Amino acid sequence: MLKFIVKKLLEIVPVLLIISFIVFTLVFVAGDPVALMLPDDATQEDINNLREAMGLNDPFIVQYGNYMLGVLQGDFGDSFRYNTAALPLVLERLPATLELAAASMVIAILIAIPFGIWSATKRNTILDLFVTGTSVVAKAMPNFWLGIMLILIFSVTLGMLPVSGHGTWQHLILPAITLGTGIGAEMTRLVRSSMVDILNQEYVRTAKSKGINRFFVVYKHAFRNSLIPVITITALQISTLVGGALITETVFSWPGLGQLLIQAVNTRDMAIVQASVFVIAILVIVMNLIADMLYRVLDPRIKY
């Protein structure tokens, strides 16, 4: 296990290098922000001076080298929009995004496990079809449409929950449902199919034929085993989850990374974009690693 963890951790280094390279190249191609930083009537000379001062006239590889030297020291450069270091700004926003992601995941799991098992045990009935259909519809619904509709129904019409913002648990409910629905739908489909596989397996059939309580069979034997692929898919969904958070946060003006990042992209504040992509990538990798480890722990078939 330890060997596996060390190996996985070592793999992160080249991955981060590649990510930094891709993002840096994109930003390089984007051109420099100088045009946006100077007043409208700046002369060509002003522009050149600023470019020179910012090291933007150096060749690509020199700029990348300098950039990476900074990154190694945790310095992603300054946000030109806010005139302050980018990384602290990004890290400051991370807890809110994690909070939303965690709550959404809980909602997704709360939807997926009961409905997935339910529809697997009633396979090919109207009920099953209903759950499958609903989950596909939920997955196909654009996030922002759902978010706006939830606000209109639960906040504006019914007055039950606050519209937007951050603070109390009430503020968390609508964004978490918005983000959790799509993921939950995907997970429902997965729980169902892995339950179907397992219910068809010999030992479950045997257990059934021996007259062991049906409830016990489903929830003890089958359920535990069906969790294994669920964990894998959960890990794969983390990237989707973070991506979806960008949109959900915009709809609910949730003070997370997404709100900051989207404004940064719109205003070409590339230091923040780079720092955010990095932080998100590390987050996704770490969560995947945890899931990978859980998976290995739960699945007795995998040997080290």
Partner 1 sequence: MNKKILSLLLFAFVLILSACSSDDSSNGEAGGSTTSTPENQSKDLTIAIGSDMLGFDIHDHSNTSTESIHQNMFDYLFKRDANDELQPMLADSYEIVNDTTLKVSLKQGVKFHNGDEFTAEDVKFSLERVAQTPTLKENPNYKQIKEVQVVDKYTVNIITFEPEPSIIHRLSRIGSGMLPKKYIEENGWDYFLEHPIGTGPYKFVEWVRDNKIVFEKFDDYYQGDISEWDTVTFRIIPENSTRVSELLTGGVDIATNIPPADWDRVNSNKGTSLKQEVSNRAIILKLRTTEGYPTSDVRVRQAIDYAINDGMLTEVALKGAGIPVLSIVGPGNFGHEPSLYNTFNYDLEKSKKLLAEAGYPDGFEMTLHSPKGRYLMDAEVSELIVGMLSQVGIKVKLEFMEWSNFVEMRNANKNKDAYMLGMGNSMYDAAYTADFYSAERNVGHTDYSNPKIEELLAQSKVNMDPTTREKQLQEIEKIAAEDTPYINLYIEEINVGVNDRIDFTPTSDEMLYAPYMKLK
Partner 2 sequence: MSEQITTVEKEIPYTQVKKQSGAGKILKSLLRSKTGLVGFIIVFIVAFIAIFAPWLAPFDPGAMDVTKILKPPIWIDGSDPAHILGTDNLGRDILSRIIYGSRVSLLVGISAVALAGIIGLIVGLVAGFYGGIVDMILMRLVDSFLAIPNILFALVFLAVFGASVPTLIIVIGVTNWVAYARIVRSEALSIKEREFVKAARSIGVRNPLIIIRHILPNVISSFIVISTLSVASTIILEASLSFLGLGIQPPTISWGGILSDGRDYLATSWWLATLPGLAITITVLGIIFLGDWLRDILDPRSQGRG
Residues found near partner 2 in the complex (CB under 8 A): 11, 14-15, 18-19, 22-23, 26-27, 29-30, 123, 129, 132-133, 136-137, 139-145, 148-149, 152, 156, 189-190, 192-193, 196-197, 200, 232, 236, 239-240, 242-244, 246-247, 250, 261-262, 265-266, 268, 273, 276-277, 280-282, 284-285, 288, 292, 295, 302
Residue with Cβ nearer partner 1 (1 or 10): 1
Whole-Å CA distances, 214 to 124, 129, 197, 211, 222: 19, 22, 17, 8, 11
Residue 169 Cβ vs partner 2, minimum distance, rounded to whole Å: 26
CB of 41 to partner 2, least distance (A): 25
Stretch of residues binding partner 1 (CB under 8 A), selected from 19-27, 186-194, 216-224, 250-258: 250-258
| Strand-pair category, 84-85 with 78-79 | antiparallel
Q: Which of 68, 98, 136, 173 binds partner 1 (CB under 8 A)?
A: 98
Q: Kindly state the tokens that stand for 42.
A: 């700046």
Residue 164 interacts with partner 1 (CB under 8 A)?
A: yes
- Strand-pairing partners, residue 78, are 85
Integer Cα distance of 85 and 74 in angstroms: 10
* CA pair distance 188, 175, nearest whole angstrom: 20
CB of 154 to partner 2, least distance (A): 13
Q: Which does 35 bind (CB under 5 to 8 A by kind): partner 2, partner 1, none?
A: partner 1
Nearer to partner 2, 117 or 242 (CB): 242
Contact between 3 and partner 1 (CB under 8 A)? no
Of the pair 62, 302, the CB lying nearest partner 2 is at 302
Q: How far is the CB of 61 from partner 1 (least distance, A)?
A: 25
Under the binding rule (CB under 8 A), the answer on residue 227 touching partner 1 is no
Cα(68)–Cα(21) distance, rounded to whole angstroms? 9
User: Is residue 116 a contact residue for partner 1 (CB under 8 A)?
Assistant: no
Q: Which is nearer to partner 1, 132 or 155 (CB)?
A: 155
